[in-house]
Chain A
Amino acid sequence: MKKEEFLDNIIELLDVDEKITFDTLLKQLDDYDSFALLSIAAYIHKELHVQFKASQLQEIESINQLIQLIGNDKFE
Chain B
Amino acid sequence: MSYITFNNIEIPGITVCVPTEKVCNRELKEFTKEEIEKFIKVTGVEYRRIAAKEVTTLDLGYRASLDLIEGLKLEKEEIDAIIFVSQTPDYILPASAIILQDKLGLPKSTLAFDVSLGCSGYVYGLFIAASLVQNGTLKNVLLVSGDTVSKTISPKDKTMAMLFGDACSATLIRKGTSDIYFSLNSDGGGKDHLIIKDGGFRNPMTMSSFETYMWEDDNERADCHLYMNGLEIFNFTLREVIQDAKNLFNESGISKDDISYFVYHQANKFMNSYISKYLKLKEESTPESLLEYGNTSSASIPLTICSKLTVEELVGKRILLSGFGVGLSWGHCIIDEPKLTYLNLLEL
A complexed with B: yes
Q: Which residues of A contact B (CB under 8 A)?
A: 34-35, 37-38, 41-42, 45-46, 51-54, 57-58
Q: Which residues of A contact B231 (CB under 8 A)?
A: 34, 37-38, 41, 54, 57-58
CB pairs A–B below 8 angstroms (20 shown): A34-B159, A34-B217, A34-B230, A35-B42, A35-B270, A37-B231, A38-B42, A38-B230, A38-B234, A41-B231, A42-B234, A46-B277, A51-B235, A51-B238, A51-B239, A52-B235, A53-B232, A54-B232, A54-B235, A57-B231
A23 vs B234: C-alpha distance when bound (angstroms):
27
**Does the CB pair A45–B238 fall under 8 Å?**
yes
A1 vs B226: C-alpha distance when bound (angstroms):
40
Q: How many A-B residue pairs lie within 8 Å, measured between CB atoms? A: 37
The interface on chain B, measured as residues whose beta carbon lies within 8 A of the other chain's beta carbons, has a size of: 16
Q: Is residue B278 within 8 Å, beta carbon to beta carbon, of the partner chain? A: yes
Q: Which residues of B contact A57 (CB under 8 A)?
A: 231
Q: Which residues of A contact B230 (CB under 8 A)?
A: 34, 38
**Does the CB pair B42–A41 fall under 8 Å?**
no
**Given A35-B270, A51-B238, 16 other A-B residues pairs in contact with their CB atoms under 8 A:** A34-B217, A35-B42, A37-B231, A38-B231, A41-B234, A41-B238, A42-B238, A42-B270, A42-B274, A45-B238, A46-B274, A46-B278, A54-B229, A54-B231, A57-B231, A58-B231
Q: Which residues of B contact A58 (CB under 8 A)?
A: 231
